[in-house]
Amino acid sequence: METWSEVDLLDEMVHIPSPSGAEEELSAFLEEVMRGRGLRSWRDEVGNVFGSTGTGDGPTVLLLGHLDTVDDPIPAARTDTRVVGRGAVDAKGPLAAMIGAATRYQDFPGRLVVAGVVEEETPASRGAMHVRKTWPKPDALVIGEPSGWDTVVLGYKGKIDVRYDVYCPPTHPSNPAPKATELAADFWQSARAAAGDEPSHASFDHTGVTLAEVHGDLSRASMSISYRTPLGFDTQALLERLHAAAGQGRVELLNAVAAVRTDRRDPVVRALTGAIRGAGGTPRHKIKTATSDMNTLAEVWPIPMATYGPGDSRLDHSDQEAIPHEDLRRGVRVLCAALRQLEELR
């Protein structure tokens, strides 16, 4: 069996680039690593990688993180105290901690599965969508995202991604007829207004809206718009408003996932909270205004779940992405202790 520590593992992982759509090298690497550490490992047809262990006579617990990163490389390095590199925080660090916990707890009285899924950073969440279509419902789920080693994430906003395209016959700039760029600018104002009276990315209870991409000229223009939505948001009503505002343009729905929120009574939340306390931390609970694979899986799996992982999420996608060795080690200890509390879950 391999004797690497989780720090060694994460150092290897961040040296393997894995932007969305190009996760194959990392997936194959982790398949071999988990097999070498005593797990039964395999990959599926979309590139997700899995490692499984346990005695099989108790609950099934799924630990699910993602392989991909944003496509913005930064130099990977290891210092005496930190692992630096794209994905160190979001979310190779949490996945490395999950692999570490599974390899340390191979006598789990049930089935313990670690999953590294593809394309979480894209609107389609292709890896998690494939898992939810092809896997039976587990008894409990932990999503691996950077919460901080002493923090449990209870929920995330929903997300709606749309694309707007418009075409106008070519004409001279002085022609008073509407131009594609002008129509796109008008549509953006309507799309922003459709988010509500007080759009905000800072509040879990308000809709946030972002003009993610825009380009065009006098005859053609397009834009991508992303909404982050609260619990109970009416997606259909939003789409109806956007179609009405599109005029001669076209609106395409790229992806929609509802907000999700659990509470402190959830068995997974309680297990993680107790484990943090047992590791000497003061547990904290957060809800986030971003979105994760927790949203995708909660839509079809009404089971105990929460999000947990070492790493400071404020460093996600930044040029300073790094994780302290000790935080990674603490994350492994917390996950192992939480799994012990989930042994009787059924």
pLDDT more than 90, % of the chain: 94
Instruction: Give the CA angle between residues 271, 275, 281 to the nearest 5°.
Output: 135
Residue among 12, 3, 14, 2 at smallest CA distance from 311: 14
How high is the pLDDT of residue 35? 97
The DSSP-derived string for 60-107 is EEEEEEE--B-S-----EE-SSEEESTTTTTTHHHHHHHHHHHHH-TT
Mean pLDDT, to the nearest integer, of 183-202?
93
- Domain-by-domain residue ranges, the chain? 6-156+260-341, 158-257
pTM, to two decimals: 0.93
Q: Write down the catalytic residue from 68, 161, 266, 321.
A: 68
Q: What is the pLDDT of residues 271-300, one digit of tens each?
A: 999 999 999 999 999 999 999 999 999 999
pLDDT at 123 over 90: no
Token pair listed for 68:
């991909």
Q: How far apart are CA 6 and CA 23, in angstroms?
A: 20
How high is the pLDDT of residue 196? 86
How high is the pLDDT of residue 198? 84
Q: Within 13 A of 48's CA, how many CA atoms are on the CB side? A: 26
| Per-chain mean pLDDT for the chain | 96
Q: What is the pLDDT of residues 134-179, one digit of tens each?
A: 999 999 999 999 999 999 999 999 999 999 999 999 989 999 999 9
- The band of 1, judged by pLDDT with boundaries at 50, 70 and 90, is very low
Architecture in CATH for domain 158-257 = 2-Layer Sandwich (3.30)
Q: What is the pLDDT of residues 6-41, one digit of tens each?
A: 999 999 999 999 999 999 999 999 999 999 999 999
- The band of 237, judged by pLDDT with boundaries at 50, 70 and 90, is very high
How high is the pLDDT of residue 184? 97
Q: How far apart are CA 167 and CA 10, in angstroms?
A: 48
- Active site (annotated) includes residue 326: no
- Active site (annotated) includes residue 327: no
Q: Quick one: fold of 6-156+260-341?
A: Aminopeptidase (3.40.630)
Token pair listed for 171:
């004409």
pLDDT at 3 over 70: no
What CA dihedral angle connects 118, 121, 123 and 127, to 10 degrees? 10
Q: How far apart are CA 338 and CA 76, in angstroms?
A: 31
pLDDT at 2 over 60: no
The answer to whether 6-156+260-341 and 158-257 have equal CATH topology is no
How high is the pLDDT of residue 57? 86
Q: Write down the catalytic residue from 23, 31, 120, 121.
A: 120
